[in-house]
Structure 1
Amino acid sequence: MEKTWTVVGFEDESVEAVPTSWIIGDQCYWPTQKYSSVKNMIINNENVNTCWPLHKIKVFRNATCDNYLSARAKTKLAEETSDLQSEKENKRKRINKICSSSDDDETPQLSETRINLSPPPRYKKKKMSKTPLYQQKSSDDEPQHSQTLFNVSPAPSYKKILKTPKKRAETVVFTTPISSVGGSQSRAEAVCNQTCNKCCTRKDDRLILQTILTQTNVIKHMTSDVLLEMQQLKRNVRAVPEQSESLYDKLVDVKFPINDQETLDRFNNHLNSSSVYTLAVNELSKLGGKDTSHFIRRVCSTLLTVEFAQGFSFYGRKRKKPFHTLKITKVLIDAAEQAALGGSSCETEKCIQSWLRRCPEKCAKSLNNTI
């Protein structure tokens, strides 16, 4: 489809070149954006949007151009005259009419006569009335139409660029004309009214859906936070049976840390009881540590002194007493496993061996510090 521009005059006596597709009869669609945006839309000859408001216009003669620059040139000319025909088009060859008699014998006195016609009168531009055309009273010859109400803002002036805020286009109310004249215009108005109502309804629906989605996301995040807190509480709370008394209170005849063989034998005999064994495992597992090696160092230092432990070896080598045969070794392995620090029994045994191997060094170091 060929793009053309037409020069029109609005009710506020402003003149503008608009795309021809925006014009319907004696009315023109006009966007509600800023003038800078509207100007770019005019230059690009964008398609009409039926949601735009309609305005009464006056269409000049010879006002349609196939390019925007020519239409802009005619816009300045339209401020002076209503006929926008160019000077080249106005220059026409005048044909002199020759009046001669068909019978020379009967009218010998008549000769060729040239008739020079006077130039046509210049059209005087009439001032446009400030009263809107739709409010003026129609003549008796014209068909009567029902009243059409426009609740729209006037088109912006070409000379004055107004910065208007973005607002929702106001609803245009149309009524059906009485006569059949202008039927295409009334159908376009009805389509515009229906489209505007749909646009407003869609905007309201989008706002409601956006609010619902926001509230749903908030509830989802709150539920996720509550679940995370519950899982953290489950990890922290461990099913440890409540003990009426601690290991130290129950074993009165055993003094910790153990520093002689007799006390170690009594403690080893107490561990043969299942209740004492379970109590010892639960009590020692609460000491905790960074890893298995740290946990074993803390527990062994609580149960045995370094001076007494240096006489033991895990397997009884170097003429030392065996440590793996004692009941306390199994208590250390089970306590490390319950504290979730022991990867395996072999790893826990290696940590016990390392602690027993360093006991002589620690004992010698403590003696040097005392001296």
Structure 2
Amino acid sequence: MSGRTWTVVKFVEEDTVEAVPTTWLVGNLCYWPPYPREKLVTAIKNFEAPNTHWPSHKMEIFRNGTFDDEIKRIKKQYVFLTNIMADMKTDLTEIKSTLSTKVLHSAEESFFLKFSFPINDEATLETVESYLIIDENFQNAVPELANIGGHNVYDFVKRAMTFLVTNKFASKYSFLGRKQKGSFSILKLSELLIKAANHSKKADRKEVEEAISKWLRRANERKGQ
């Protein structure tokens, strides 16, 4: 254990704080293993050696600390994340309840009743995309999705994406298709989210795109919960 230190860093892009092994830091970047949350916590606790093939993210250093100091904080954060997952399940229940009472169209026309959400495979995604290519279908789906609601733009995106796609499937995408992932931005589903957010929250395109990108970045961690 001697010589091991953990550093508390703030990830600039996502505005989140994490305690990581100091060896994961290079300049203003932090290597971040693409693990599910439970495996990630183990990697941090065990001071796993960094791998240059891991994604790297811009960060700011808060402070350094010993293992005992930081593992206590990690445990607290793990409990916090567990609570977040419980909240997400509650959100999904509320979303389904909201949609059941606020569907704007008949059962035959409803976007949400035509497919088995959340999407978990390419075949279903292709079917949904083919449906949304038709302008009338797309325009009808916008107010339906907008009804999901949320406290702010990111909360709306989180609630909508939780309903539309699984974390496992979402982990195969990034917004712009970087890091050998599929590009979510080229999908009609992405455009639907942007239009619905504007309809619900009067949000501009850039704000919604940033929210989608942020949600997608952490899908790989959430799928292990």
Q: Among 324, 339, 348, which residue is 2:208 paired with?
A: 348
Counterpart of 2:153 in structure 1 is 292
- Deviations along 1:62-110, one digit per CA (max 9) or x if unpaired, are xxxxxxxxxxxxxxxxxxxxxxxxxxxxxxxxxxxxxxxxxxxxxxxxx
| Contact 2:173–2:183 (CA under 8 A) maintained in structure 1 | yes
Name 1:321's counterpart in structure 2.
182
2:217 to 354, 357, 360: 357
TM-score normalised by the chain length of structure 2? 0.52
Any unmatched runs of 5+ in structure 1? Answer: 1-239, 367-371
Equivalent pair of 2:104/2:144 in contact (CA under 8 Å): no
Q: Give the superposed CA RMSD.
A: 1.8
Percent sequence identity is 35
Matches within 5 A, 1:171-186: none
Provide the residue aligned with 2:112 in structure 1.
248
Q: Distance in 2 between matches of 1:241 and 1:306?
A: 25
Find the residue that maps to 2:119 and give its secondary structure.
coil
CA distance in 2, matches of 1:363, 1:264: 18
Q: Is the contact between residue 291 and residue 341 of structure 1 (CA under 8 Å) also seen in structure 2?
A: no
Structure scoring higher RCO (CA < 8 A, sep ≥ 6) equals 2
Using the TM superposition, give the Cα deviation of residue 341 of structure 1 relative to its aligned residue in structure 2, in angstroms: 4.7
Residue of structure 2 in register with 1:189 after alignment: none
- Asked if structure 2 preserves the Cα contact closer than 8 Å seen for 1:309 and 1:356, the reply is yes
Q: From the superposition, tell whether residues 241 and 303 of structure 1 become closer, same or farther in structure 2 (CA, over 3 Å).
A: closer
**1:339 is paired with a residue of what secondary structure?**
helix
Q: Is the contact made by 1:280 and 1:331 (CA closer than 8 Å) also made in structure 2?
A: yes
- Mapped contact 1:311–1:320 kept (Cα < 8 A): yes
Whole-Å separation in 2 of the counterparts to 1:294 and 1:338: 15
Q: Find the residue that maps to 2:176 and give its secondary structure.
A: coil
1:328 & 1:248 partners in 2: Cα distance?
Answer: 13
Q: Which residue of 2 aligns with 1:308?
A: 169
Match among 119, 122, 129 for residue 258 of structure 1: 119
User: Shift of the alpha carbon at 1:363?
Assistant: 1.5
Where in structure 2 are there 5+ consecutive unaligned residues? 1-101
Q: Helix, strand or coil: the match of 2:196?
A: helix
State how many pairs are aligned: 122
Distance between the aligned counterparts of 1:241 and 1:287, measured in 2? 10
* TM norm structure 1: 0.32
Which of 320, 332, 335 does residue 193 from structure 2 map onto? 332
- Larger helix percent: 2
